[in-house]
């Protein structure tokens, strides 16, 4: 049974459909990457999975259980973590407090998970008493991912984790995504840096106009001349 | 030296009293703003309600404090706090929550709170009457006169028992609130929600719970502020309503959404008010020989007359909004 199985998902804001039948399935040990042109519905699909958008048609299953249109806090309880693209930290809270908020529903786990997250992101340990608003973009992204990991999710949703980061930080974030995945967390992420992202993807989904255009393994999509020509800039 | 004692009595003590009350009131206003993003105009009347509950309880059990050697009003304050917290949660359920559910703009909530103000004030007036009543129902208000051990000092430092309680309770409240917001899980979640409500929800924080907790705390604090004020003077149904302006000035001076800014703002506004109406000619008396006559002859050298005290927070408010709209501690701009 796949970890996440989205079938024929339709949805949008205020009666206007942005998603027009998206299919997406990833296994629990996989990294899924959503790429595509602007306005293709990439982030919208991620929001639909995390209950931030009304799904008008189709279904989304988490380990076979329908979860579409459940509120986000229920989905956190069911093992889903979401890292928004922007405003993804609590700026006036310290790094440690940010992480603690991630484990709000599992207060008993805080100590153990803090140690684990600090092991994943050593720079955060050093800055744990600093307000997250004072950190650099890359470190904020670590705080955001760390906060989501604190709840021990089985599926982590990342919305453009490398947006606005320098290439150096970008590679570091991709490395960390791979490490988080090998620790047993399924990943579904939206990325603008399509080539690098597909490079670490087990499954790639190329969306256009709210529908799947290509769906394959990351390597196969990178090798496909059609995909390269229309979506990866040659 | 006598002039110094006069200064202590009329500025240091009086300013601290006013400042403490403004501080506790402003903390409640700022907490509500940081969680629900609207200016809660009914806060003054929640304070009055708290004090009125104390008055009712103290009239029903006038001997409650005798066993502990403290005024009955203070022993019964925790009960009044609980009742006011209940009222605050009830008001939210009945009036503000339906408005929020409709996704109205904050200004609608502000006007709604104005309605709650009129309603609460009317209700309290209906049951308490319009006159002033002492919260010292059966107890005696002690007045302490501390003579300073200096030669030539004839005037004692005067401080009343409720003022001493007020300083103590303010200190305990501020420290307690600090510990709650920085150490407890719910307190941190409150700060998180104030920072970023969407992310708080995405972290699994139940925002409805946080809203309810905020009202409980705001109600409790309002009861404390209203009671301390009424203990210092007397209970009146419109007493706290007239504090609304200085309390909002204090919250804005400190930076809206900043609890400790609100405390600082409360003392800034309280002392500014006290200093503005203080008669400085008294302090000039020892230097009378070396000062020009027009300065020493003037009988009253206050910046503004006591009856114009209310312009001081107004003035501070305008200055802050023009020059530093985010307040001392960089709060959110309203």
Predicted confidence band of residue A67 (pLDDT cuts 50, 70, 90)? very high
The shortest C-alpha distance from A93 to chain B (Å) reads 7
Please give the pLDDT value at position B297.
Answer: 66
pLDDT tens by residue, B73-90: 899 999 999 999 999 999
Q: How many CB pairs (< 8 A) connect A and B?
A: 61
Residue B330 lies in a domain: no
Name every chain B residue with its beta carbon within 8 A of the beta carbon of A50.
202
Residues B250 and B312: their CA atoms lie apart, in Å, by: 11
Q: Residue B158 sits in which domain range?
A: 2-323
The two three-digit tokens of residue A88, written as one number: 């993804």
Please give the pLDDT value at position B334.
Answer: 47
pLDDT tens by residue, B159-211: 988 899 999 999 999 999 999 999 999 999 999 999 999 999 989 898 899 99
Q: Looking at residues B293-306, what average pLDDT do you find?
A: 73
Predicted confidence band of residue A43 (pLDDT cuts 50, 70, 90)? very high
Nearest CB partner across the interface for B189, out of A87, A92, A104: A104
Cα atoms found within 13 Å of the Cα of residue B161, Cβ hemisphere only: 13
pLDDT tens by residue, B268-282: 999 999 998 888 877
Query: Is the CB of residue B209 less than 8 Å away from at least one CB of chain A?
Result: no
Tell me the pLDDT of chain A averaged across its residues: 92
pLDDT tens by residue, A87-128: 999 999 999 999 999 999 988 889 999 999 999 899 999 999
Is A97 close to B191, i.e. CB distance below 8 A?
yes
Q: Crossing angle of helices B14-36/B185-195, nearest 10°? A: 70
Which strands, in side-by-side order, build the sheet including A55-62? Answer: A16-26, A4-13, A55-62, A65-66
B65: domain CATH number is 1.10.3470
Residue B110 lies in a domain: yes
Determine contact, residues B234/B301, Cβ cutoff 8 Å.
no
Q: State which residue of chain B sits closest to A93, comparing Cα positions.
A: B192
* Residue to substitute from A81, A90, A140, interface B, most B β-carbons within 10 A: A90
Q: Taking an 8 Å Cβ-Cβ cutoff, which residues of chain A contact chain B?
A: 50, 71-73, 76-77, 82, 84, 87-93, 97-98, 100-102, 104-105, 107, 147, 151
**Which residues between 7 and 36 in chain B have a beta carbon less than 8 angstroms from any beta carbon of chain A?**
none
Residue B332 lies in a domain: no
Number of separate domains in chain B: 1
Please give the pLDDT value at position B333.
Answer: 52
Residue B218 lies in a domain: yes
pLDDT tens by residue, B98-153: 999 998 999 999 999 999 999 999 999 999 888 888 888 777 788 888 887 777 77
In the predicted model, is pLDDT for residue A203 greater than 80?
A: yes
Q: Which domains does chain A have, with CATH numbers?
A: 1-79+155-164+186-234 (3.40.50.300), 85-152 (no CATH)
Is B200 close to A90, i.e. CB distance below 8 A?
yes
Using only C-alpha atoms, chain B has a radius of gyration, in whole angstroms, of: 21
Residue B328 lies in a domain: no
Tell me the pLDDT of chain B averaged across its residues: 89
Residue B166 lies in a domain: yes
pLDDT tens by residue, B17-45: 999 999 999 999 999 999 999 999 999 99
Q: State which residue of chain B sits closest to A110, comparing Cα positions.
A: B185
Q: Looking at residues B307-317, what average pLDDT do you find?
A: 86
Report DSSP state, residue A131.
B
Q: Is the ipTM of this complex over 0.95?
A: no
CB atoms near residue A168 (< 10 Å): 8
In the predicted model, is pLDDT for residue B15 greater than 90?
A: yes
Lowest mean pLDDT: which of B47-56, B112-121, B284-293, B300-309?
B284-293
């Amino acid at each position: 049974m796949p970890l996440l199985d989205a079938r024929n998902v339709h949805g949008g804001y205020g009666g206007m459909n942005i998603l027009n039948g998206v299919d997406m399935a990833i296994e629990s040990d996989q990294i899924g990457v959503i790429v595509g042109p602007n306005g293709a519905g990439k982030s919208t699909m991620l929001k639909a999975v995390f209950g931030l958008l009304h799904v008008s048609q189709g279904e989304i299953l988490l380990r076979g259980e329908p979860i579409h249109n459940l509120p986000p806090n229920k989905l956190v309880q069911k093992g889903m973590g979401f890292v928004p693209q922007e405003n993804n930290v609590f700026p006036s809270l310290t790094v440690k407090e940010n992480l603690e908020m991630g484990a709000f529903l599992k207060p008993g786990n805080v100590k153990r998970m803090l140690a684990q997250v600090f092991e994943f992101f050593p720079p955060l340990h050093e800055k744990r008493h600093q307000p997250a608003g004072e950190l650099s973009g890359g470190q904020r992204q670590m705080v955001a991912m760390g906060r989501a990991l604190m709840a021990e999710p089985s599926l982590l949703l990342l919305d453009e984790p490398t947006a606005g980061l320098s290439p150096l930080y970008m590679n570091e974030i991709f490395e960390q995504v791979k490490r988080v995945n090998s620790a047993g967390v399924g990943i579904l992420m939206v990325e603008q840096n399509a080539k690098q992202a597909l490079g670490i993807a087990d499954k790639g989904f190329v969306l256009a106009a709210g529908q799947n255009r290509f769906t394959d393994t990351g390597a196969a999509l990178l090798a496909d001349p059609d995909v390269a020509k229309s979506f990866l800039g040659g | 030296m006598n002039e110094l004692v006069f200064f202590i009595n009329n500025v240091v003590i009086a300013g601290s009293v006013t400042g403490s009350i403004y501080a506790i009131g402003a903390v409640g206003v700022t907490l509500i703003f940081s969680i629900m993003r609207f200016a809660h105009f009914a806060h003054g009347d929640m304070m009055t309600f708290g004090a009125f509950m104390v008055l009712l309880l103290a009239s029903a059990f006038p001997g409650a404090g005798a066993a502990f050697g403290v005024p009955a009003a203070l022993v019964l304050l925790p009960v009044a706090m609980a009742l006011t917290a209940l009222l605050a949660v009830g008001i939210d359920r009945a009036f503000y929550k339906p408005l929020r559910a409709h996704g109205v703009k904050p200004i609608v909530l502000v006007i709604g709170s104005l309605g709650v103000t009129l309603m609460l004030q009317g209700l309290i007036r209906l049951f308490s009457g319009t006159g002033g009543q002492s919260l010292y129902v059966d107890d005696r208000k002690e007045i302490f006169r501390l003579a300073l051990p200096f030669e030539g000092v004839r005037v004692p430092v005067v401080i009343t028992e409720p003022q001493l309680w007020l300083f103590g309770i303010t200190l305990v409240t501020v420290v307690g609130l600090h510990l709650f917001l920085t150490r407890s899980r719910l307190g941190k979640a409150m700060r998180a929600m104030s920072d970023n409500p969407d992310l708080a929800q995405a972290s699994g924080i139940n925002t409805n719970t946080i809203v309810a907790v905020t009202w409980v705390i705001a109600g409790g604090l309002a009861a404390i502020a209203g009671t301390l004020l009424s203990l210092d003077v007397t209970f009146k149904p419109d007493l706290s309503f007239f504090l609304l302006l200085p309390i909002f000035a204090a919250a804005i001076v400190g930076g809206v959404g900043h609890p400790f800014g609100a405390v600082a703002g409360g003392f800034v506004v309280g002392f500014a008010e006290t200093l503005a109406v203080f008669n400085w000619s008294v302090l000039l008396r020892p230097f009378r020989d070396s000062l020009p006559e027009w300065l020493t002859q003037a009988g009253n050298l206050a910046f503004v007359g006591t009856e114009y005290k209310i312009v001081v927070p107004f003035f501070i408010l305008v200055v802050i909004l023009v020059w530093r709209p985010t307040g001392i501690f960089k709060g959110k701009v309203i």
